[in-house]
């Protein structure tokens, strides 16, 4: 059995554990190394159980604990060259601490296939991932931090059995948020920002029509969204497309801290 465990997911910290038999892949480490260990214990895992770490991009909510992880473990870390340079340039890791480039991913033995795809986000070289399990043939896509669903994203993600999909903000809540200046609202809503609930829902309908059986909504803004709003918008949009929750697909929402549930596939 494969398991998808969203350890934490929000605009403040993101990390998802993908468990595929003896292979356990961590996507991003946006919390501290200490807190990561605490989250892993909720599910009876330890840092020693992690086979590899995949990094999507260099923003702090995705790499906060990376430096400590590299210093304290020998777990191989994979990122694009642009993201690796961006992390080093921002002094998040010491230059001599090397991230593997994706082309070197075969340097370690994993009983799975990992591919990455470019995403539209205001970073050096943001990507998402598709992981094909060697256990049961299940495919999992991690698709967050994208201001728009591009052709490359569609080509990579459509057909995946399970998709972890960004549903970052409610448009009305963002527009009415007095704590967010206009330039920040514009950045979030841009084609290199984040997906709104509505954009997420429209893509979710495409996904299910192309074979996706489980969608996990993630990377919700704690300022401009709620789990209920994200769930309702996605569920209603799919229902209006004659797609029934619990019949044609299963919908979950990942929160800032996960203390119990996971998706079994």
pLDDT tens-place string over residues 21-44: 888 999 999 999 999 999 999 999
pLDDT at residue 199 tops 80: yes
pLDDT at residue 231 tops 90: yes
- The span from the CA of 22 to the CA of 80, in Å, is 25
Degrees (nearest 5) of the Cα angle 103, 105, 109? 150
pLDDT band at 158 (very low <50, low <70, confident <90, very high): very high
Structural domain for 111, as ranges: 2-264
CA 231 to chain centre: 17
pLDDT at residue 137 tops 90: no
- The span from the CA of 157 to the CA of 173, in Å, is 28
Instruction: Give the rounded percent of residues in the chain with a pLDDT score beyond 90.
Output: 75
Q: What is the largest CA-CA distance in the chain?
A: 54
**How many folded domains does the chain comprise?**
1
Q: Which of 174, 160, 161 is nearest to 229 (CA)?
A: 174
What average pLDDT does the segment 199-227 reach?
Answer: 98
Give the Å distances, CA to CA, from 31 to 13, 79, 130: 5, 17, 22
pLDDT for 106 equals 53
pLDDT for 101 equals 55
CATH number for position 17: 3.60.15.10
- pTM tops 0.85: yes
pLDDT tens-place string over residues 164-179: 999 999 999 999 999 9
What average pLDDT does the segment 129-151 reach?
Answer: 91
Residue 67, helix vs strand vs coil: helix
pLDDT tens-place string over residues 49-61: 999 999 999 999 9
Mean pLDDT over all residues of the chain?
91
pLDDT band at 85 (very low <50, low <70, confident <90, very high): confident
pLDDT for 251 equals 97
pLDDT band at 103 (very low <50, low <70, confident <90, very high): low
């Amino acid at each position: 059995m494969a398991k998808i465990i969203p350890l934490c997911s929000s605009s403040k910290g993101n990390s998802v554990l993908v468990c595929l038999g003896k292979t356990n892949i961590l996507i991003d480490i946006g919390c501290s190394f200490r807190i990561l260990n605490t989250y892993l214990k909720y599910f009876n895992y330890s840092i020693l159980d992690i086979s590899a770490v995949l990094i999507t991009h260099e923003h702090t909510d995705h790499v906060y604990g990376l430096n400590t992880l590299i210093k304290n473990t020998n777990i191989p870390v994979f990122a694009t060259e642009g993201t690796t340079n961006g992390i080093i340039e921002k002094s998040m890791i010491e230059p001599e601490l090397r991230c593997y480039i994706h082309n070197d991913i075969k340097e370690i033995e994993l009983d799975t296939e990992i591919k990455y795809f470019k995403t539209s986000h205001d970073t050096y070289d943001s990507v998402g991932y598709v992981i094909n399990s060697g256990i049961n043939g299940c495919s999992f896509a991690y698709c967050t931090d994208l201001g728009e669903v591009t052709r490359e994203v569609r080509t990579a993600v459509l057909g995946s059995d399970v998709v972890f999909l960004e549903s970052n903000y409610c448009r009305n809540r963002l527009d009415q948020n007095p704590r967010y200046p206009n330039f920040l609202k514009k950045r979030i809503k841009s084609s290199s920002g984040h997906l709104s609930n509505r954009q997420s829902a429209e893509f979710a309908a495409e996904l299910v029509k192309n074979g996706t059986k489980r969608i996990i909504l993630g990377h919700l803004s704690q300022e401009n969204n709620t789990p209920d709003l994200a769930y309702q918008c996605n569920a209603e949009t799919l229902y209006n497309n004659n797609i029934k929750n619990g019949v044609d697909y299963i919908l979950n929402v990942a929160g800032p801290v996960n203390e119990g549930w996971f998706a079994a596939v």
